[in-house]
Every structure is written in structure tokens, then in C-alpha cells.
Structure 1
Amino acid sequence: MHHISTIRIIFILMASLFCWPTASEKNIQKNNNPDNENLLTDQVYSDNIHTVQFYREGWEFSQPVLFLGSDQHLVLKFDDLSGEAHTYSYTIKHCTADWAPSNLIESEYLDGFFENSIDDYEYSVNTTIPYVNYLLRIPNDDVKPKLSGNYVLTVWRDYDHTKPVLSRRFFVVDQKVGVTGRVKAATYDSYKGPNQEVDFEIQHPDFAIQNPRNEVKVLLMQNGRWDNAKTDLLPQFIRENSLVYDYSEENVFPGGNEFRNFDMKSLRVNGKGIASIQYLSPLYHVTLYTDKDRHGQDYHFENDLNGHYLVKRDNVTDSDVESDYAMVHFSLDIQAPLTEGNIYVFGELSGWQCSPSNQMVYSIERKQYELALLLKQGFYDYEYAYVRNNDGKIDTSLLEGSHVETENNYQIFVYYRGISSRFDQLIGYQVINSANR
């Protein structure tokens, strides 16, 4: 622990370089009310917090989806790089299908206590950067969700609700309907070529739905991304026991491309995608090979993690506390800067967001975009996203290309709220793979 003071200085410098507050973080600083709408999204509010993972136990690449009445658990993990343990608590809030606070009180949707401490933590072992790894399982002996729907888990420091640390959305499903579907090449002329069309059907023979267009909402996601999710789909055909969503425009996504990736499970040998590894006190620097613009190139299949990452260090017992951190240097070969927008390193490693912390900077001397990110050892997927100044939309096709053959996972969530219901039930969930894998 004798490195702590040096490390703190390093982090102050790094924060000034690439950890400026996002717009959401600035809003939190102005208004720390826990009901603030920013706390109902996936955010990290502290520069010390890194490598936030939230998934169904047993499958690190899954979305945080819990089935009501099952013996499953969700796992939340994160690292505090301040070098010392802190007191962290968490709360769980029930939300509507549109991620607004529901009108339910805590005792209606939780079995147990509304606020609880996170007591499971360990210090890092033999790492150049000291950190504390925190672990939380939901449900546990203190709290258990008892209704279906959308939830937001918020972590607080020192039980102080003016000090949010992170927030993460999760889902509790009470599977009452069946969901089937398929992904095919887009059929409408304007979308033919690189786009994928997601057609699906909701079967409800044992669940009465009186007014489907008003009582049912659907969330359709590609690889767990929120920025391009579809939330306004209505059934095109209403049959006796099924609702059919077979549009040719509203349910279309760019196919995108298979993700780039690199292997940083070892800091002794160069893994996939890594050009060099150097130790420059007090931390490792990992330089990736310079990437090229893939727009206009032919499709090439490659196994990927659909944008996710895996924390892993070779030849250790516990990767959660024995994996080191390294400064990873990304570079993208572009002959001239793009003046109408910005380029970001994008994927789960950026929280599926584009913010100053993952924005690249253009080097006129080297004619390339560059970014350094502090990342924990493991295997990472990533891609390059372009965000235009005029609309703020995330576009991965400009630099990565887009292909109808690309393998993607699509998640379908089905919500129901009857005329006398007090909350939005989550009654169906299904994952469809574009390649039927």
C-alpha cells in the first residue's frame, strides 16, 4: 500500500486529461436528488470507479435479466482505484417501462430492506495499481425483488444520497407470454443491403390482453445497446392469441460489423491485437496495432463477444483481484481530421456511451486519431463510433462499415399494463441471434 500517494497523483493527472464530467455527471453535481432522472440510467459518477460489470451469474456476457421465482442471481462487480476501502451501500428502485420511477412504495416491490451495505470486497494482490474489488449478488439475504419490471440499482458512498457512485439498470421477468422471431435481410428498398430486419411474434394463449395497442409495450435492443433501441413498436397484426410485429422499416437496424478485439490477459507477451507492452513506472502501457478504416471493405466473419469484455489474467487463481490495470493506447489511421463530429472508442468498455473519457484526439503529426484508456486485464471487444455535432447520434457504420451478414444478438422485452394495473409488468423476454447461433 506504500504506492497509494503516488497513484493518487497519477489519477488526478489522468482525470484532468480524459475523465472530464459528462453532461449527466454535471447534472448530478448540480442536483443530487436520488430521484433525479440521471440516476435511472447506466452511469458512473466517480473517477475512482472502474470496470463495472453487471450480469446474470454464470455468464459474464449476459444482460442483467432475472427471472421471477428462479434461483438465479445477478452479479455486480466494480473496482475502487482510490487504494482504500470505503463504505458503500445500495438501493433498488422500481421503474416504469419508460424508466421513470413507478408509483409503488418499496415494500410493494421488495422483500427486505430498501438500503443495504456492500460487505463483500477484497484488496488487489500483487498489482502495480492497488484497488479494492467489490462484489454484490441480487437477490440476497437482505433484499429480493418480488415484482416483475424494470429496476435501477444505485450505489452510494457512506450511505449519503448526495454521493452516488454508480447506477445500473436491470430487469425482472415474469414469463407469461412466448416470444419467437427471426432476423433477416431488410426487405424495404430503402434499407436493402447492409441492414437487418427483426420480425417477431408474441404468443399469449394463457394471458388475456384486451387492448394490445395500449396495454403492451416492447423494447427491442441490438447487443444490449441503449442508444439505438426501439421502444415505439406497435403490433402490426392482432390475432386471437398472438401479436405480430412484421414491419419492414420500424424494426430495422444497421448490421454493423464484427467487433475488433485485443487480448490483454498477459502483460508479459503480446496477445492478439497488441503491438507492444512497456512498463513505465508506475504502470504498464499497452499499445495496440494502428487500426484502419473498414468502411467499404468486404465482410469478414470473426468470432467476437458482440462488444463485451472478459476480465481475465492468465495463470492466476482469482482474476478479479489479481488482474492488473494498464494504460491501453488506441490509434486509428485517418489522413485528415473529421471536422463535423468526433470519434470514440466504443463498446461495453465505454459503457456503450460516447463521452469525453472515450473521445479520441487527432494527431496532425501522425495523421491518426488517438486515445489512452485505463483498462483491467482481459479480452476486449471494441469498435470506432462517429458522433456528428448536429444530431449527437452514434454511428458505427462510417468507420466500421455495415453488413447484413454480421452476427448480432437482439433482445426483446415485452411489458404489460392493464387498465387497472398500477405498474408495468415485464411478461416476456427473448434473445434472437442473427446467425441462429
Structure 2
Amino acid sequence: MHQKITWLLFFFLTSVNAQNIETIQLRPLQENSFSSIVPLGTILELSFDDLDADSKDYKYKIEHKTHDWKPSRLLSSQFINGFNQNTIINVTNSFNTLQNYTHYSVQIPNINTVITKSGNYLLSVLNTYDDVVFTRRFVLYENATTIPVSVARSRNTKTLNTQQTVQFYINHKGIRINNPSQEINVAIIKNNNWNEMITNLQPTFFKPNQLLYTYSNKTNFWGGNEYLNFDSKIIRNTSLNIVKITKGDVYNHYLYPFTYNKYRQYSYNPDINGQFAVRSLEGNDNNTEADYALMHFSMEVEEMFKEKEIYVFGAFNDFSISDKNRMYFNPKNKTYSANILLKQGFYNYTFATIGKDNFVNTNEVNGTFFETENEYTVIVYYKPAGSLYDRVVGIGKGYFSQNR
């Protein structure tokens, strides 16, 4: 299964020099919309906080990429009307918070930057010295095809209870495909997590104006488990899954301990598939009036995980691994713990382990079950002979659900 799902550990989408940068979001303007895979022309907003709380000059830079995220052959003038690099000028200071910060935001497209081509894009934020502070991916697509997607329980008897199978069709009446193996590439992404995707797929069947991808095993994903969650929308009082609050330089929120059980059973719990939403009930503007709290995560175990490290994992850290979200073991109380500074809001998270092979395993602690509700996005890239770039000609979405 390792070779099927690509975990891009320490890839370019993770932060490089972001020691004081928190709460990075790249999303459409619609409320509770978390995906940066959107139709061409959709407004995406990038926002982040600088905890140094000073006035820095940050710039954004946009690069077009191939279907496999390598540099595109297009010049910036071929995919942008305007400039591919500009200063972020929407800067505001936090108000009435213990943790001071400066909030930055920019919407794309804007008067200086209008993207004209579909495809994969890398958005970089640069500091005054043109060093990359962090990067994020986004995809702009055309509605030139329709892609029905179905998600079902794995048919493999060995993974019947732990995996899900994704199957889909590409209906391409609107575009001519002469050689699908050369002209079409697809990617399947689980829960908007770029670290967990399947690529390098060929159609299993061909029909007039239709390509079928009906694999039995090659498009299997681990089901995982529903994400854990907490809600820190009230900074001074306990809320969902927060057991205790203390006040120091910032507020400290202590979460209910998680008890590890290797025989854990599946239990349905609605989640937002690892995402987070900034919100505060104590101010009018979440961007600048939501405070930061030091969240205390803990996991009780019978014994220490051998030759493995454990991390708190979710969209809040771009599904990545770093020292900031690592958990440390205390042999006296047999507990792993981590303290992570997070802006007020509703958060999903889980636990990930990593061993000597550097494989990030999100199933070892919380389990993996075929019943888990997941969202899968299929991206279709089209590059006919002689074309300079990979168009994204459509996406499809599928969800696993079962009668309860």
C-alpha cells in the first residue's frame, strides 16, 4: 500500500521559514468551504498570522505546474494577466488579544493578478529577502468533462474491513482524446490532503466518449477513522472536549486525554475530515479578534511506542510533520503530550506515527475502518500532442456512506 498512496513528507508544500507564521488558510470565500480545488475564475483568499506582530513586507508568487507538480513550460505571461508576484497590502493588527499578531490576506484573482489557464498552481509567500516562507497548492479547473465517482468497501478479502475502493468514469464528449495513455493523467486525493493521493492510473475500459477506471485494488485507500475534535471558540471557558483552562502569557486549554487502544472499534462521529475553522464568540472579526491558546494534547498508553515518534496531525499544520507538532513521552505517567499554539476555532485532528522508514502512518493510533466517512476528489488532466501544459478539464467528488 505504501507505493500506491504518495505521502510527500517534507515536500515543497510544507513551511520552510515559518517559525512565527500561524493559521495559514487558502480557501474560497464561501463559509465552511475548505478545498483549494476550484473552478477557473473562483476567488481564493490566502490569509495567515505573523506572531511577531510587527509590519513585514510579504509578497506572494504564483507558479504554474505540470500534472505531477514539476515546473511548467508556460511563461508567467502565458497564464497570468498582470503580475505573478505582488506585495500583500491587506495587513491588520490583532485587537484585544493576549497573543499579539499581524493578520495578512490577499484575494486571487485581483486587479494585479488574473489567472487565465486551468492547471496546478503553487502559491509561495516570500519575505523581504525573497526567501520562501511557506507554500500552498491550489488547482483551477474547467468543466469540460463530467466525472461520476463511487466509493465502496474494499473487495480485497485481506482489507475488507480496513479499506475503501474508489472507482470513476470520465465522460469527455466535449473534448477529443486520441491517445488516453499519453494525453490523460488523473489524481485521486483523499480529504483534500495532498500527502495522501493515488496517481499513475490508466483506464481499465474504453467506451465512446468515456474512459472507465474500475480497479478492484489499485485505487484502494485506507479508511482511517473519524477525526477527533475540539472547539476553543470561548477563550475563558471550557467548551467541546476542553477539560480545563488556565491563564498565563496566553490561555492554556487542556484537552480530554486520548486513551490508546490497539483493539479500538469504529464509532461514528461527524467530522470535517481533518480541517479547521477559525471562530470566536467574543469578538466581531475572527481574523483579528480571535485569540491564540496553547492547546495541551495528551495520549495515555500502556507502554511507549518502540522506535516510533508520534505527532498531532491535521490541516492546521498542512498534514505535515515537524517538531512543532511532535508528542513527547513521559514514563512516569505513561503519557504522550504536545503543546501547540492555535487560534480560536473548531479543529479536527488525529495522531500520526513515523518510524525509521519515514512513512507517516495515520492509522496506527486511531485505527482504520471501511465505515469511515471520507471525501475523495478525482482530478483529470488533459495534455494533447503539441500542447504546452496540462489543462484540468474536470473534477469529480465521491463520498463513502452507508446505511446506519
**Structure 1 length normalisation: TM-score?**
0.88
How does 1:22-421 map onto structure 2 within 5 Å?
24=10, 39=12, 41-68=13-40, 70=41, 72-158=42-128, 160-161=129-130, 163-280=131-248, 282-389=249-356, 391-421=357-387
How far is 1:386 from its partner?
Answer: 1.2
Which position in structure 2 is the counterpart of 1:432?
398
- Asked whether the equivalents of residues 295 and 397 of structure 1 are also in contact (C-alpha less than 8 Å), the reply is no
Per-residue deviation, residues 397-437 of structure 1 (Å, max 9, x unmatched): 21111111111110110001111111111111122111289
Tell me the SS of whatever aligns to 1:175: coil
Per-residue deviation, residues 151-192 of structure 1 (Å, max 9, x unmatched): 11111112x32x222211111101211100111000122321
How far is 1:42 from its partner?
Answer: 4.0
Which position in structure 1 is the counterpart of 2:5?
none
Which position in structure 2 is the counterpart of 1:15?
none
Separation (CA, whole Å) in 1 of partners of 2:84 and 2:300 = 50
- Asked whether the equivalents of residues 110 and 143 of structure 1 are also in contact (C-alpha less than 8 Å), the reply is yes
- Asked whether the equivalents of residues 313 and 349 of structure 2 are also in contact (C-alpha less than 8 Å), the reply is yes
How far is 1:62 from its partner?
Answer: 2.2
Task: Name structure 2 gaps, 5 residues minimum.
Answer: 1-8
How far is 1:127 from its partner?
Answer: 0.4
- Asked whether the equivalents of residues 50 and 78 of structure 1 are also in contact (C-alpha less than 8 Å), the reply is yes
Per-residue deviation, residues 109-143 of structure 1 (Å, max 9, x unmatched): 10111211111111000000110111110100010
Per-residue deviation, residues 168-218 of structure 1 (Å, max 9, x unmatched): 111110121110011100012232112111111111112111111111111
How far is 1:351 from its partner?
Answer: 1.3
Percentage of matched positions with identical amino acids: 33
**Structure 2 length normalisation: TM-score?**
0.95
Give the residue type in structure 1 aligned to 2:208: E
Change in 2 beyond 3 A, CA 1:354/1:295 = same
Structure whose residues are more often helix by fraction:
1
Give the residue type in structure 2 aligned to 1:105: L
- Asked whether the equivalents of residues 295 and 402 of structure 1 are also in contact (C-alpha less than 8 Å), the reply is no
Separation (CA, whole Å) in 2 of partners of 1:405 and 1:231 = 24
- Asked whether the equivalents of residues 149 and 397 of structure 2 are also in contact (C-alpha less than 8 Å), the reply is no
Tell me the SS of whatever aligns to 1:228: strand
- Asked whether the equivalents of residues 14 and 320 of structure 2 are also in contact (C-alpha less than 8 Å), the reply is no
- Asked whether the equivalents of residues 227 and 394 of structure 1 are also in contact (C-alpha less than 8 Å), the reply is no
Structure 1 ranges of 4+ moved more than 3 A: none
Give the residue type in structure 2 aligned to 1:400: N
How far is 1:299 from its partner?
Answer: 1.8
Tell me the SS of whatever aligns to 1:178: coil
Separation (CA, whole Å) in 1 of partners of 2:166 and 2:141 = 21
Separation (CA, whole Å) in 1 of partners of 2:168 and 2:348 = 28
Tell me the SS of whatever aligns to 1:213: helix
Count of aligned pairs: 395
Separation (CA, whole Å) in 1 of partners of 2:279 and 2:25 = 13
Give the residue type in structure 2 aligned to 1:351: D
Separation (CA, whole Å) in 2 of partners of 1:401 and 1:345 = 15
Per-residue deviation, residues 356-403 of structure 1 (Å, max 9, x unmatched): 2211111011101110001001111101111121x2122122111111
Separation (CA, whole Å) in 2 of partners of 1:168 and 1:362 = 32
How far is 1:61 from its partner?
Answer: 3.8
How far is 1:239 from its partner?
Answer: 1.5
